[in-house]
Amino acid sequence: RKEVEQDPGPFNVPEGATVAFNCTYSNSASQSFFWYRQDCRKEPKLLMSVYSSGNEDGRFTAQLNRASQYISLLIRDSKLSDSATYLCVVGEVPNDMRFGAGTRLTVKP
């Protein structure tokens, strides 16, 4: 079983739609959680950290459920520019950080 699991997708949604991704993790001792965004053939970039109380950044909302060991990312009012792969990242640096394989999102006109 992978330490961090994501649905690979692809999720194909129309512009303006709301889409949600989940990610499950196996290490219950993990304290740090992130969503990264990776465009095709580019490097991952931090989208947002995920806090215990949940957090929102514009159209993006991240939630953490420790009891069920998953984190979620909700994107509202999807834009074409949101098309990317979203990586779930769990754990601590320097050597306990684990990356999911990513969920691919395509937003269509």
Partner 1 sequence: DAGITQSPRHKVTETGTPVTLRCHQTENHRYMYWYRQDPGHGLRLIHYSYGVKDTDKGEVSDGYSVSRSKTEDFLLTLESATSSQTSVYFCAIGRVGGAGNEQFFGPGTRLTVL
Contact residues toward partner 1 (CB under 8 A) are: 2, 4, 8, 32, 34, 41-46, 49, 87, 92-95, 97-102
**Phi, psi at residue 80, to the nearest 5°?**
-55, -35
| Closer by beta carbon to partner 1, 41 or else 68 | 41
Q: Which is nearer to partner 1, 1 or 14 (CB)?
A: 1
Other C-beta atoms within 10 Å of 74: how many?
A: 15
Give the nearest distance from C-beta 73 to partner 1 in angstroms.
15
Q: Tell the residue number behind the tokens 């215990």, with chain if given.
A: 52
Phi/psi at 97 (5° precision)? -90, 130
Q: For residues 52 and 71, what is the distance between their CA atoms, to the nearest angstrom?
A: 10
Nearer to partner 1, 14 or 81 (CB): 81
Query: Pairing between strand 19-25 and 84-90?
Result: unpaired
**What's the CA gap between 81 and 84, in Å, rounded?**
8
Please identify, using beta-carbon distances, which residue of 62 and 78 lies nearer to partner 1: 62
